[in-house]
Chain A
């Protein structure tokens, strides 16, 4: 009996199926754009593809009239620097504190509830406080990402550590492992794939916090540009920027997924094709 759940497309049709929704969206966009342009030849809401391409060329290859820089690259560099710094620090904090909270009952008792409470604070709500404490420069933007992402990473990693089989810990101890050795040789390698997964899931929130911080006070960055040109409805700039941000985070996600499978293949043996 052939069931729907057992019909798997071959690689070729699979590609086609994956492309289909994208083609559909693009098609609807072109239709909508043509329609608005027919009604108003200066419409800015849905610029035609040709105009988008021209704007992208200008953003990526020409010096800006106002700043004298090639804005797309300058914005991307500034934003990625903030993002990597924020995510990197958050990952480090997540790893160290997650291991400690999950492995050491004393640390768990002290920090567990605190992290649980902090993770519930909406970072956007304390933005004015962040400004006053960390200033308006790069620091407050990085801190916003760290505050937004780190508590989730700590909690997720601590849960992963507590879920490790108790027998392993006892066995390692009977073999003479110290707490340090147990953390580094038994717990750490086993939770690394989980950490990478958690960072992958944090990419979206990290970008959200980055754009929010750049929208509020900034002079360069992807979020800065979007919120600046929003003032005169330059969708021909906003739409390519959104696509670019999406592409960047998709590539990061893809790279992290590959890294996890390459470095920890044992964690993915059960994975469905």
Chain B
């Protein structure tokens, strides 16, 4: 008995030392001046410039200019990529405005959006098998990735036809399986995003009854960076914005160079040039830093973020112990701080895009 007690003590001490060493190692790693940064991305039409920039050497060119290293890593699963960022594995991630609020910001990770890439202008949609207009959705069971931007789109759509969420039933369905799900006779309605939306819409008898072009600017695709990392390394922000605008200028190029770039991006996203360009049509890209910066600094953004945070709060996405939608502060260039100014966790910072617009990179 006594021997076992002493064994227990020894093991406890060993565990203590082990974890202390671990803490020290982590502490030391973060204390050293950071030269290497990790950015995660997932497949989505508006984010494909990132892997292409890495492949074409644009990332390295800009990183070298500022004397840093930037690793651009693909994560297969979108939510997982944001979770990894929130857990601390990445310095930046490609994310929508809503998910930036509900995952990192609600998780206490102070996050800054430095690139306003695009907004969904039809990339997200509601498709019905039975019915030709959105009002027909009443009483149907809907396959949807619950609590995602699809859910937000659905809530916004329902409001336009004076319906509420209790008038319908949602079934949480993985985005990877939503196309197969819609082929099953049980499924009569789905809400999803591209490229799945293109497949679902093409089903015989399917009708697209509402899409994100009816709520322009509300589903935004961003590049976000940890605020603290950005503050300590403004060069990282400059390099990333530099990479972005060089790459999308190439993407927009009507000539052969542009076509080659778009073809490479299409391939990286698992589709062909025609499919990629079809998705680009429903994506409102901000090709120039000037218009991106003016949208981010405009009076619309605070209104949009207010709609988004209200939805998130009503669906418990900010956490169960959050008592008001004001609990998390959102800083926008034009509207000051939305919500608690003492707890700003999501910031929109147009200054880097402005620098790019002024050619100061």
Contact = CB atoms under 8 A, between A and B. Distances in A.
Our verdict on whether A and B bind, yes or no, reads: yes
Interface of A: 9, 12-13, 16-17, 20, 23-24, 27-28, 31-32, 35, 40-45, 55, 58, 65-66, 127-128, 131-132, 135-137, 215-219, 224, 227-228, 230-234
Interface stretch (B126-134, B192-200, B303-311, B316-324): B316-324
A209 to B, nearest CB: 15
B180 A27 contact: no
Nearest to B185: A135
A128 B180 contact: yes
Interface residues of B, number: 45
B177 interface: yes
A38 to B, nearest CB: 10
Contacts of A216: 173-174, 177, 181
Given A41-B108, A137-B186, A216-B173, 4 more contacts: A42-B109, A131-B184, A132-B180, A135-B184
Contact of A230 (B8, B11, B83): B83
B164 interface: no
B147 interface: yes
A7 to B, nearest CB: 11
B103 A217 contact: no
A53 to B, nearest CB: 13
Interface in B161-189: 169-174, 177, 180-181, 183-187
B11 A218 contact: no
Contacts of B187: 136
B106 interface: yes
B131 to A, nearest CB: 19
A188 B83 CA distance: 51
A219 B317 contact: no
A16 B173 contact: no
B108 A131 contact: no
Find the residue from B103, B107, B183, B315 having the highest chain A CB count within 10 A. B107
Given A55-B320, A215-B174, A216-B177, A16 B106 contact: no
Interface of B: 1, 4, 7-8, 11-12, 15-16, 19, 23, 79, 83, 86-87, 102-103, 106-109, 143, 145-148, 169-174, 177, 180-181, 183-187, 315-317, 319-320, 345
A231 B147 contact: yes
A24 B15 contact: yes
Contact of B174 (A44, A55, A135, A217): A217
B177 A217 contact: yes
A230 B180 contact: no
A154 to B, nearest CB: 28
A44 B8 CA distance: 31
Contacts of B315: 66
A20 B11 contact: yes
Contacts of B148: 231
Given A127-B177, A216-B173, A228 B19 contact: no
A217 B185 contact: no
Nearest to B8: A20
A43 B107 contact: yes
Contacts of B345: 42
11 contacts: A28-B19, A42-B345, A66-B316, A127-B177, A128-B177, A131-B181, A136-B187, A217-B174, A219-B169, A231-B79, A233-B83
